[in-house]
Structure 1
């Protein structure tokens, strides 16, 4: 193994930043990361003795001072033991921690799990934690005794349970609850903390959606239509009941008419019907806010069929910032819910569960930050509402 192949990158950074000692700093960081990765992946096994520093530095293609810096950091983290008599050995007591990840029962394309999982995996690698994934259905099918034996044999730190809106009677929830291990929900509803007693990571959907409305109002929109995702609770989505949402529209200075709100199943025909309904109103909305980026994709398709230009005639905004929105034409404005960060945080919480798990302790409730991602699909200041209403009506 050699780090000389990284020299091009190092030289680029030096040129870019003009920092004379950047090369030395980067080589130390790169070597440290490479050695840590090899220990983490058991390429260097617990108890294995490493070559002496002179031979090892030659093998790696680095200076001794660079190697010593990396080894010092690894020693501080308890990954290696350095003794003058015995040399440098991989800590024989290294035991990989493990976390059980329950794979959700529903893995539709719009499932947050697809965005949360990379955060879980990256942070687990960084903390040298092994992930064991188990399908929800399989976990539920196990008898309680077998389930507990499986968990006990794995010596898990805890469980990541990426479900949400738990009512308390779900089979998967009861199965996880019966284990009695620290459990984190990385994409929880704000009521889940009370219902489950698990640690919850919560995107403040109410504020995130309200901020999206505020952003559109600042762009000059007054009449904003909303395509919500249909949930098990009638006229309830993104933590708003219909009446609560209409009040939020009014408080934001927008038209609070229920005709401007549609609850759709995730299919093209439902979304098409909703959009056509908006365009037949007396005052046509100038923007459509979607409960998910995936709904926005169907809105794009319908508007394209009608030759309605985005954003010139109709602004469109998504929600959740799923990968790929920036490749829409025009690129899709959305709200980033930091779902990948939520996955990372879930692993960090379980790694430190001793700080919050116990009879007299309360599991943490963490609100992740959200951010408006402004792109081309809303990049128009709306001032000519009457003209555009007439033009769109002519297209129908």
Structure 2
């Protein structure tokens, strides 16, 4: 896997240094400014890399005391009957190949979680994008010893499902991410809980008419999100919650902007919106062209992260996102257990979402005006 961002390169460099003993367990790392100067990087780059190491539990940062290297477990002993191959194949949807991991933050975070956990387990990771021809070759490639296991990300359309079933029948270890297939363990984001948490957080600060802009495809995962969203609006007193769900099912790329504009114009009473990150560029263009002020007139929470709209970007939008690195680590945990001969086919792991509230989210305008009046 090739990662070009400086923070990711530094993260991998420091991770390997920790694993190789350059920074033994218990070592106190230099202060950030000094350490950044030693490494020849900006302090903000070092801070981002340390955050990734902390998420992987390789270091602990203690306020007023410093940053310390943790004890890290040795990789498990390899059973004699385990195949010599040690590569985990991570398969992304073919439509993501054009962006690659440099620009697709969503995929990159999953890859980082898997890569980091693979390193701890003395495994390798290879990233590929699913194509019909490639799917047909998977069983043969496994027989040639090219990989030991497969992690499928959001792949459960008929061609992929057929390939997954074929590998399962051959006893090849595999895990699906954000999709479920019978007889194959899975790790998924708890979408219903994430949407429920976000809608309720908006309702707590006074929002009632909340819109959701989502893909709306027929897959169960999208239907679940739509159903939970409408349930929560109904509980909040909205009589027709379905009109606040803006689906892109069947909408072509060239019509994305006009679809957003028309949908938002028919909801002038909406004071908050949750927008799938895939549509954020078009939605931001709509905000600019319509002169809508965030959060003065409309609170915005983006669902997921995209390049230019990630948590480190200067955009003010709040973020509801998946813990993709945690999902990746959990997937490799299942792979390791299967490689050790443990049956896991019925495992269904759900990882909670993460709501990051920033200044793109506030009380609805009318409530804010009333509050200001009371204070006067």
TM range (shorter): 0.5 to 0.7
Distance in 2 between the 1:240 and 1:262 partners?
14
1:176-255 matches, cutoff 5 A: 176-188=167-179, 192=180, 195-232=181-218, 238-240=222-224, 245-254=229-238
* Shift in CA distance, 348/209, structure 1 to aligned 2, threshold 3 Å: same
**TM-score, scaled to structure 1:** 0.64
Given that residues 330 and 376 in structure 1 are in contact (C-alpha distance below 8 angstroms), is that contact kept between their aligned partners in structure 2?
no
- RMSD of aligned C-alpha atoms? 4.1
**For each residue in 1:195-240, what CA deviation from the matched residue of structure 2 results, as whole angstroms up to 9, or x when unmatched?**
431110011111111111111112211111221214145xx76343
Q: Which has the larger radius of gyration?
A: 1
Aligned length: 308
| Alpha-carbon shift at residue 366 of structure 1 (Å) | 0.5
Question: Which of 359, 362, 367 lines up with 1:376 in the alignment?
Answer: 359
Question: Which of 273, 278, 281 lines up with 1:294 in the alignment?
Answer: 278
Question: Which of 309, 315, 319 lines up with 1:334 in the alignment?
Answer: 319
Deviating more after overlay: 123-132 vs 258-267 = 258-267
| Alpha-carbon shift at residue 140 of structure 1 (Å) | 2.2
In structure 2, the partner of 1:351 is 336
Distance in 1 between the 2:312 and 2:291 partners?
20
SS of residue in 2 equivalent to 1:196: coil
Given that residues 322 and 352 in structure 2 are in contact (C-alpha distance below 8 angstroms), is that contact kept between their aligned partners in structure 1?
yes
Distance in 1 between the 2:107 and 2:315 partners?
26
Question: Which of 10, 27, 35 lines up with 2:29 in the alignment?
Answer: 10
Question: Which of 292, 316, 327 lines up with 2:300 in the alignment?
Answer: 316
SS of residue in 2 equivalent to 1:331: coil
| Alpha-carbon shift at residue 151 of structure 1 (Å) | 0.9
Distance in 2 between the 1:362 and 1:170 partners?
15
Distance in 2 between the 1:199 and 1:294 partners?
27
| Alpha-carbon shift at residue 270 of structure 1 (Å) | 2.5
| Alpha-carbon shift at residue 313 of structure 1 (Å) | 0.7
1:116-131 matches, cutoff 5 A: 116-131=110-125
Question: Which of 119, 134, 140 lines up with 1:139 in the alignment?
Answer: 134
Distance in 2 between the 1:141 and 1:77 partners?
32
* Shift in CA distance, 135/226, structure 1 to aligned 2, threshold 3 Å: closer
In structure 2, the partner of 1:173 is 164
| Alpha-carbon shift at residue 377 of structure 1 (Å) | 1.2
Given that residues 268 and 298 in structure 1 are in contact (C-alpha distance below 8 angstroms), is that contact kept between their aligned partners in structure 2?
no
**For each residue in 1:58-84, what CA deviation from the matched residue of structure 2 results, as whole angstroms up to 9, or x when unmatched?**
xxxxxxxxxxxxxxx87x9779xxxxx
SS of residue in 2 equivalent to 1:181: coil
* Shift in CA distance, 249/333, structure 1 to aligned 2, threshold 3 Å: same
In structure 1, the partner of 2:288 is 304
Distance in 1 between the 2:199 and 2:139 partners?
47
Given that residues 88 and 125 in structure 2 are in contact (C-alpha distance below 8 angstroms), is that contact kept between their aligned partners in structure 1?
yes
Distance in 2 between the 1:139 and 1:179 partners?
17
| Alpha-carbon shift at residue 315 of structure 1 (Å) | 1.1
Given that residues 187 and 339 in structure 1 are in contact (C-alpha distance below 8 angstroms), is that contact kept between their aligned partners in structure 2?
no
| Alpha-carbon shift at residue 156 of structure 1 (Å) | 4.4
Deviating more after overlay: 269-278 vs 204-213 = 269-278
SS of residue in 2 equivalent to 1:220: coil
| Alpha-carbon shift at residue 242 of structure 1 (Å) | 5.4
Question: Which of 243, 246, 267 lines up with 1:259 in the alignment?
Answer: 243
In structure 2, the partner of 1:393 is none
SS of residue in 2 equivalent to 1:201: strand
